[in-house]
Homo-oligomer: A and B are copies of this chain.
């Protein structure tokens, strides 16, 4: 590092340190006016998944007396939906809100921060990130991409997507051109699916034109907005590749280091708040959307067990193959898998039996 560069960055550090230790005058210094930009991977029409970015920005402003302003841009406005990470990495924007698994082309390790096939549900993912070492593991990995990260929003367990044709056996998957993101696409490929990675806003035209035969997005509330039911009749569940899909807030390391302590705390709090907000919003709005979709003719059905079993087998093979050749992947996978196995054991006890008793009452119309 040349001397001028050193002095410049050291200067930033000193100013921050001073703000943290001096009493009264520190207040003004610790709350400077700052304007940042956040690139979202999602279209404006999706008021939960894109809205999470806006909710986050609003909360950061509220926590800083409106001194820290974040402007949120939808997919394609300043950055294409699937290049959000790159734009944070190269400093085009300070913040990116995206699904980490969009970047498995760079390294499959990216999958774990969103969702990996037959993985953690929403609560279990939260626990892995916040109390299971997940956040530290992913942040270590993200250093190579010039970023730090926060868990920011969840979708809950996703649906298995919209299919033109019914899927009755694993054979029926062969040759299906499907929009499916991330590592799951590689699992599907083992079963003959031709996976495509397409940003949210561009799926409908592809499905309408017949460029693809199937598409998964999130769940009833978003899928209804995107209109998939108009072009594919079969709606399957569960999305075994996303038992709980989490989104990540990427923060450029240089931008992060420049922030006063209070603003760092505001970002951390606003991320947690946005996570709760998004899960609650999806949960509250999905039931009505699903009811409307079914009333309008959508054929709702579970994947047949042999299809789920074939997918599980393919996923296990891919985990083993990828672990064997990628040590970064193996490091995260080993932590994640051990945590998952323990969580599922525990969730079979109180959570599972409670939920299943209530589900049975519901199925018998006894609620």
Contact = CB atoms under 8 A, between A and B. Distances in A.
Interface of A: 24, 26-28, 30-31, 59, 62-65, 118, 121-124, 126-132, 156-160, 219-220, 237-240, 243, 261-262, 265-266, 268-270, 272-273, 275-277, 279-281, 283-288, 290, 300, 302, 308, 312, 337, 339-359, 361-363, 367
A348 B361 CA distance: 11
B26 A65 contact: yes
B159 A350 contact: yes
11 contacts: A27-B31, A30-B65, A131-B281, A157-B354, A237-B353, A269-B273, A272-B272, A284-B339, A286-B346, A337-B367, A348-B363
B285 A131 contact: yes
Find the residue from A27, A273, A346, A359 having the highest chain B CB count within 10 A: A346
Contacts of A121: 351, 354-355, 358
5 nearest A-B pairs in the assembled complex, by CB-CB distance: A131-B284, A127-B283, A238-B354, A130-B280, A269-B269
A349 B237 contact: yes
Nearest to A119: B358
A352 B349 contact: no
Find the residue from A28, A31, A65 having the highest chain B CB count within 10 A: A65
Contacts of A59: 265, 269
Task: State how many copies of this chain the complex holds.
Answer: 2
Interface SS of chain A: helix, strand, loop or mixed? helix
A358 B237 contact: no
A266 B64 CA distance: 9
Given A28-B24, A121-B351, A287-B345, A240 B63 contact: no
Given A26-B65, A27-B31, A27-B65, A346 B287 contact: yes
Nearest to A346: B287
Contact of A344 (B266, B272, B359): B359
A61 to B, nearest CB: 9
Given A156-B350, A351-B156, A287 B342 contact: yes
Contacts of A118: 357-358, 361
Contacts of A353: 237-238, 302
A265 B359 CA distance: 37
Contacts of A337: 367
A240 B354 contact: yes
A63 B265 contact: yes
Given A130-B277, A284-B339, 6 more contacts: A123-B279, A243-B354, A268-B273, A290-B346, A348-B359, A348-B363
